Structure 1
Amino acid sequence: MYKLRPNITQSTKMANWVDILRSHYNWCLNDRLTQYAQQFIQGDYCDIRTKSLACPLTCFVSKNGASGEPWKSSGDKNPRRNAGMIQDAALPELKKARPWYGGIDSTVLQQNVKRLDIAYKNFFDGRGFPKFKNRSNFTSFTFVMGVKVQGNKIYLPKLGWMRFYNSRPIPDGFKIKAATIRKRQDGWYVSIRIEDKAIPDYIARPLSDVKSIIGCDLGITKLVHLSDNHQIDNPKLLTNKKTKRVLKIRQRRVNRKVKGSNNRKKAATNVGRLHKNIADKRQAYQWKTANKIVARNVDAIAVENLNVSAMKRRCKPKIDEETGRFLKNGQSRKRGLNRSISDVSWSDLILKIEYLAAKHGKVVIKINPKHTSQKCQNCGHIDASNRDGEKFICTQCGYLAHADINAAKNIRDRAFSIVLGDSKELEPQGSKRPKNCKEISRCSVSKRREPGNLSNQDIKIAIS
């Protein structure tokens, strides 16, 4: 990502583009919702085979809900047009009806429609339904044609040549495929996607070739605990006392200003810059941490398959049956834990580990974290009383170890059980094969039913 140095005219034009594209995105989304309501709720439904009006027996969510002519030419194999194709074909009419859309590059408008298609695809793959965008969550647009780079200058269609900080030169032989312009608290940035077909794709290592695995247990007191007894510190960029004090002071200045005034906007910008600095430091530290883990002399990396959103879910309310009043449910205490979980950003760290592991030809195995912090690595006994803060003392065999290091070794053993299930001749190096491999294998592939394995010590530190 490079920081741009636009002039006043270019900066104003890009800000106007973001506002127009956000309105276009919301209009396209509303168009699809309206068409779905007309076709499948009110009964005005067009049958695909007969092209006649009909009423469906069952109401379902359509992938092709959009206004416009839904049919291609009769010679095509699939005459049905999807919603993205219909709205993409309507862009010339949109420019005639609203001339200010003509000032935006055509590929940018097309990518805006494609962005909504991706949101719908993610919804049908199990994610949340697409939402209307506001100024805080719609700050970027993408070029796919006409982008040129010469030294410290970049050419963007209908924006012209623009200077930028060429902190990392683009290597020779690569072709620019796309450029995404993004507005942040301290200015405009550009992300360039490049491609070189001469470079072969990374090939994942098969499980049959895995002979050594390292287990990673994610936590809050320490960011990562490895099965080789190594620990990586948690910098606590957002939850330390100094940052919380500075953030509180800056937010208080925002609240004291008059709503809608320029002074309030300046104060809000200072708060946003602080959050940006924290996010940049977190990204840099996570890349260093991921490099440390992937650089280990192992064939595979075992991590926990955490459901972070469920871990940050609000506590269920408690209501007094006699008076009907709400009782204390511990949500005020859990708020500190939720902030600590957001600060460590486990999901982003796992994504970085997967990215670097693919570049190094290594495998990332995601393990069900159930009972990993309660199981004895020596005898296999599972009991919640085995763990006392950061200490692990087995109630059956008396095995003593660091609780999170013990959990990391259990994660490693579960990964070995998956590998051994595909390749019987492989044996773990430096660790014993678990006695109940079949039971562990079933746990590793089952769906996660519980939130993670945070210790009482982690909760106390997050609250304090």
Structure 2
Amino acid sequence: MRIAYQYRLKPTKQQRDKIDHWLSMLCSQYNYLLADRFSWYEQNRCPRNACPLVCHLPELRDSPDYYSQKKTLPNLKKTHPWYKDIHSQVLQDVVKRVKLAFDRFIKGDKNGNRSGRPRFKKKHRYRTFTYPQMKEGCLEGNLINLPKIGKVKVILHRPIPEGFKTKTASIIKKCDGYYLVLSLEDETVPEIKSDINPDSIVGIDVGLKEFLTTSEGETIEIPQYYRKSQKRLKVIQKRVSRRKKGGKNRLKAIKQLGRQHKKVADKRKDFHFKSANYLLSKYDVVAHEKLNVKALAKSRLAKSVLDAGWSSFLTILTSKAENAGLLAVPVSARDTSQNCSNCGKKVPKKLHIRWHDCRDCGCSLDRDHNAAINIRNRAAGQSVLKAQRLLRDTRIGACCLH
């Protein structure tokens, strides 16, 4: 099992300058390697599905891959000696990042979904580097030993669990400082509790009127952190637009805008964790809909959907349930709001109709409450063993960024 813990770093001025210098050099190398891949791609592809009989064929060369680009690093240190200051594995990780970005563009992911054309990074957009291997005992009290940077102070707001091994360490530069993300591995795989109570199951229906409604009739109010901070964000955004491009005052305003956006994101993330912990502390099995959030985020409700953060919440809920040995079961979202939870007959209603009334059985309750009961009934129709198998098939991973 892999999890990630994030801590705040307190580097000295010399260490901050060194981290910034590394990020600048790594950004240049990332862009150079990406340009090499694009150069090969443009020279070795045909814009049409058929070539004319008489045409110019450029000199073909082998496709640059991870290993061929990795072999160029020793020569890079000879032609550009200042790259010797960067740890070799950190430099190799840049090659891996280029490979992953380009593969998603050419081949796509495991489902065949391709991403857009990778973009060249600006200096202020390249903010992370990773040590792929960390030695045991790299943490000494509140100090972490980063190769070629030195011992950096870490604010350990919580201890690392016993038995976990530190696999990788990533340094992230954010608008409000520097952070350390440790990837921890535990050899023991969390098993689903054998004493799970099948009756202790709840269905939840996420929405925009209320953040979620349970099958027991409980509701959690939607906080709308982004909409509440729009007035402040508008003032800072105007401040950015009025500053001269490339000036120091514009950079200060951009940092201020980034801090405000981060504040909103941190509030939303904290709310998601607290909501997930509340549900898992009361129920052994939590059923939810399989939502196509990407499609909803392209509709007229995009701002409200993204402000609610359903996708992030369901990811946190699934990960927390796995770590606790509980179940978070996804079910089909088809007609959960239209079908009657009492008799099962379909009662068509438009989105603005927020109350469910069934003429056949007389069932009358809130639309979201009715949907939550339908979600619970669909999950309850599955056995615990089937739910466990479904959970493993749809598992996103045990890695959860706290």
Q: 2:79 aligns with which of 97, 101, 108?
A: 97
TM-score by length of 2: 0.81
CA distance, structure 2, for counterparts of residue 237 and residue 365 of structure 1: 28
Are the structure 2 counterparts of residues 360 and 13 from structure 1 closer, same or farther at C-alpha, using a change threshold of 3 Å? same
- Residue from 163, 175, 189 that aligns with 1:185: 175
Matched residue, 1:56 = none
> What is the CA deviation profile of residues 148-204 of structure 1, one whole-angstrom value per residue up to 9, with x for unaligned ones?
22122211111111122222233455432111100111111101123344xx21135
CA distance 1:417–1:26, shift in 2 (3 Å): farther
Q: Which moved more, 1:119-128 or 1:101-110?
A: 119-128
Q: What does residue 361 of structure 2 align with? A: 397
Confirm whether residue 201 of structure 1 aligns to residue 189 of structure 2.
Answer: yes
1:128 matched to which residue of 2? Answer: 115
Deviation at 1:133, TM superposition (A): 4.3
What is the distance in 2 between the residues matched to 1:380 and 1:172? 50
SS in 1 for 2:349: helix
Using the aligned pairs only, state the percent identity: 34
Distance 1:186 1:164 in 2: 15
Instruction: Identify unmatched segments of 5+ residues in structure 2.
Output: 1-5, 49-61, 388-392, 394-402
Matched, 1:366 2:330: yes
The 1-side partners of 2:322 and 2:173 are apart by 30
Counterpart amino acid of residue 389 in structure 1: I
Q: Provide the C-alpha distance between the structure 1 equivalents of 2:214 and 2:275, rounded to a whole number of angstroms.
A: 12
Cα distance, 1:127–1:401 mapped onto 2, change above 3 Å = farther
Matches within 5 A, 1:9-88: 9-41=14-46, 66-67=63-64, 83-88=65-70
Quote the residue 1:383 is aligned against.
347
Aligned-partner Cα distance in 2 for 1:2–1:390? 43
1:240-259 counterparts in 2 under 5 A? Answer: 240=228, 243-259=229-245
Counterpart check, 1:297 vs 2:283: yes
* Residues 95-117 of structure 1 deviation map (CA, whole Å, 9 limit, x = unaligned): 22332322211111122222334
**Shift, 1:350, TM fit:** 0.7
Segments of structure 1 that go 5 or more residues without pairing to the other structure are: 44-64, 68-82, 315-333, 424-444, 446-464
The 1:121–1:213 alpha-carbon spacing in structure 2 relative to 1, beyond 3 Å, is farther
Structure 2 match to 1:432: none
Give the CA deviation at 1:237.
Answer: 0.9
Q: 1:274 to 1:397 in 2, by over 3 A?
A: same
For residues 46-445 of structure 1, the aligned pairs below 5 Å read: 66-67=63-64, 83-119=65-101, 123-125=108-110, 126-129=113-116, 131-135=118-122, 137-146=125-134, 148-197=138-187, 200-204=188-192, 212-240=200-228, 243-298=229-284, 300-313=285-298, 334=300, 337-385=301-349, 389-419=353-383
Asked whether the 8 Å contact 1:120–1:129 carries over to 2, the reply is no
Matched length: 362
> 1:190 aligns to what SS in structure 2?
strand
CA distance in 2, matches of 1:387, 1:66: 52
Does structure 1 conserve the Cα–Cα contact (< 8 Å) formed by 2:201 and 2:283?
no
Partner SS state of residue 385, structure 1: coil
Q: Which moved more, 1:101-110 or 1:382-391?
A: 382-391
Distance in 2 separating the partners of 1:213 and 1:379: 20
Distance 1:239-1:420 versus aligned 2 partners, 3 A rule = same
Compute the displacement of 1:354 (Å): 0.8
2:23·2:127 contact (CA, 8 Å) conserved in 1?
yes
Which stretch shows the higher mean deviation, 361-370 or 127-136? 127-136
Query: Which deviates further from its counterpart, 402-411 or 255-264?
Result: 255-264
Q: Is the 8 A contact 1:176 1:192 kept in 2?
A: yes
Moved more, 132-141 or 160-169: 132-141
Higher relative contact order (CA 8 A, sep 6+): 2
Amino acid corresponding to residue 91 of structure 1 in structure 2: L
One-letter amino acid matched to 2:291 = L
Bigger Rg, which one: 1
Report the Cα distance in structure 2 between the residues aligned to 1:90 and 1:345, rounded to whole angstroms. Answer: 42
> Matches of 1:263 and 1:40 in 2, distance apart?
45
What letter is aligned with 2:72? A
1:39 deviation in Å? 4.2
Give the aligned partner of residue 390 of structure 2. Answer: none
The superposition leaves residues 224-245 of structure 1 with CA deviations (integer Å, 9 ceiling, x where unpaired) of: 11112111121111112xx221
The change in CA–CA distance for 1:421 and 1:171 in structure 2 (over 3 A counts) is: closer
Partner AA of 1:124 in structure 2: D
Per-residue deviation, residues 192-229 of structure 1 (Å, max 9, x unmatched): 123344xx2113579x9956532111112211111121
RMSD: 2.9
Q: SS of the counterpart of 1:216?
A: strand
For 2:384 and 2:269, the matched residues in 1 are separated by 35
Do the aligned partners of 2:204 and 2:215 also contact (CA within 8 Å) in 1?
yes
Could you tell me whether the CA contact under 8 Å between 2:102 and 2:118 is conserved in 1?
A: no
Query: Which stretch of the first structure deviates more once superposed, 408-417 or 344-353?
Result: 408-417
CA shift in 2, pair 1:386/1:39, >3 Å: closer
CA distance change for structure 1 residues 386 and 42 in 2, over 3 Å: closer, same or farther? closer
- Retained in 1: the 8 A contact 2:203–2:372? yes
